[in-house]
Structure 1
Amino acid sequence: MTSPDDPARDLLTLSQWLSPAFPVGGYAFSHGLDHAVSVGDVSDAASFAAWLGAVLRHGAGRSDAILVAHAQSGGDLEALNDLAAALTPCVERWTETLAQGRAFVRTTNALLGTDLPLDCAFPVAVGAQARALSLSTSTVASFFLQAFASNLTSIATRIVPLGQTEAQAVLAGLANDIATLGDLAAEARLDDLTSGVPGADLAAMLHETQEVRLFQS
């Protein structure tokens, strides 16, 4: 386990947890982007930027960041997990967060010597394990959002398709939003949990019956 008074090392630990190399299987889940691309709703850098920005500001990005913050700050993990389940609009999205949460918990339990329950939504699991790190809540929430956005950017690079530079430009263009959302999550109450991206939610629902699926969500 990292030292409680070593923020530099703890930041490296958090970066490891949220990197593509960490075995949570995020690459298998597109959060409905697979469907949005298949029907032409996302077809270039501009439409991807709009789609990703909306999900971050008004959808699962914002909600998950708040869940991360409350889990790290000592919130009731069972209650937070119930909230995470209630916020998912369809089976695939719940599978997405639960599968990644289980994989994250399994690996971090082994690394940290903890016994966090396996059936834990991904943002709740990250926040709970981040209690061991000497990092601010806004930092943890922002890193979580960056990892979420980076995974979707990688997927968009491959399936829209986008050039690597223009895809990274979209991600870079959302940096201020991600930092702001991380700060807001650190101060948010659970009553502030909302979601307002019906297009992305509908894409996730329709993906369940999509004839050709490249991703699990």
Structure 2
Amino acid sequence: MTTKRNVDALLRLLAWMSPAFPIGAFSYSGGLESAVNDRRISSAADLHLWISIVLQRGTLWNDAVLLAEAWRSYEDARALAELGELAQALAGSAERHRETVLLGDAFVEAASAWPHDVFERLPKGATYPVSVGAIAAAHGVDLEDALAAHLHSGVSQFVSAGIRLGIAGQKDGVAILAHLETEIAEIANRASSSTLDDLGSATILADTASMRHEVQGTRLFRS
């Protein structure tokens, strides 16, 4: 016996997590540019390790927990507002705060092409993972699918930034994505049953890189 898949939900998820979705994600590096400038990352192997750490116990993990909580709370405007405030408070630097808020607002605006009353419950500045989680739930997207797609999108953005910064080639980037598939699936599965008690990170170098980027002279990226 086979289960009929919600193809409409899948197509929406593919559109929302596409690099072509107009939210401006390409302009952010999450502190990676600063780490490259400081010679902490200088090769594709370094980039792979950096992304893996951020995925396992950094901002990508926290975003996954926030997305899952928003997915479960999509019908509760008050809960979404409080979650958005928490997500903003967890931003470790001014640039990280601006990134998650602006991406969230841009995502809400672009995703409104698919009308739903969830947009009336989402507050301004809900942040990117909270917006994605709530809107995905409202449109019937499976939680683990939403998490996997969002994490893959975040990893892809780091890879893209690394390629543009000249520390990896396109072939290297594809290899990194292939090698991280299992980790992405594991994190998505773990985050799907997470609670806010699971929030927390241990990526001091990545966090300080984001802070150092604020005072960096020449920059390609906004974070």
TM range (shorter): over 0.9
Pick the aligned partner of 1:215 from 214, 218, 221: 221
Structure 2, unmatched stretches of 5+, are none
Q: Distance in 2 between matches of 1:135 and 1:81?
A: 20
1:7 aligns to 2:10 (yes or no)? no
**Shift in Å at residue 92 of structure 1?**
0.2
Indicate the residue corresponding to 1:41 in structure 2. 40
Superposed CA deviations along residues 62-108 of structure 1, whole A, max 9, x for unmatched, are: 11011111101126111211121121111000001001001001111
Q: Structure 1 residues 205-214 or 134-143, which shifts more?
A: 134-143
1:151 positional shift: 1.0
1:200 aligned onto 2:206: yes
Q: Is the 8 A contact 2:13 2:141 kept in 1?
A: no
More displaced stretch, 110-119 vs 193-202: 110-119
CA distance in 2, matches of 1:108, 1:73: 19
User: What amino acid does structure 1 have at the position aligned with 2:203?
Assistant: V
Aligned to 2:25: 26
The answer on 1:81 being equivalent to 2:90 is no
- C-alpha separation in 1, matches of 2:80 and 2:220: 33
> What is the identity percentage for the equivalent residue pairs of Structure 1 and Structure 2?
38
Matched, 1:117 2:123: yes
Query: In angstroms, what is the RMSD of aligned CA positions?
Result: 1.4
Q: Aligned AA for 2:157?
A: N
Matched-pair contact (CA < 8 Å) for 2:152–2:184: yes
CA–CA distance in 2 between the matches of 1:110 and 1:16?
A: 11
Aligned counterpart, 2:144: 138
Deviation at 1:9, TM superposition (A): 2.1
CA distance in 2, matches of 1:174, 1:121: 25
Runs of 4 or more above 6 Å deviation: none
Partners of 2:196 and 2:33 in 1: CA distance: 30
SS in 2 for 1:111: coil
Amino acid of the structure 1 residue aligned with 2:169: G
Q: Summarize the Cα distance change of 1:6–1:175 in structure 2 as closer, same or farther, 3 Å threshold.
A: closer
The amino acid across from 2:47 in the alignment is: F
Distance in 1, matches of 2:193 and 2:187, equals 10
Task: Name 1:72's counterpart in structure 2.
Answer: 71
- Return the TM-score normalized by structure 1: 0.94
Return the alpha-carbon distance in structure 1 between the equivalents of residues 170 and 140 of structure 2.
34
Query: What amino acid is aligned across from residue 57 of structure 1 in structure 2?
Result: Q
Give the secondary-structure state (helix, strand or coil) at the position aligned to 1:61: helix
1:152 corresponds to which of 154, 158, 164: 158
- Give the corresponding residue for 2:95: 92
Structure 1 unaligned spans of 5+:
none
The alignment of Structure 1 onto Structure 2 pairs a total of residues equal to 213
Calculate the TM-score normalised by the size of structure 2.
0.91
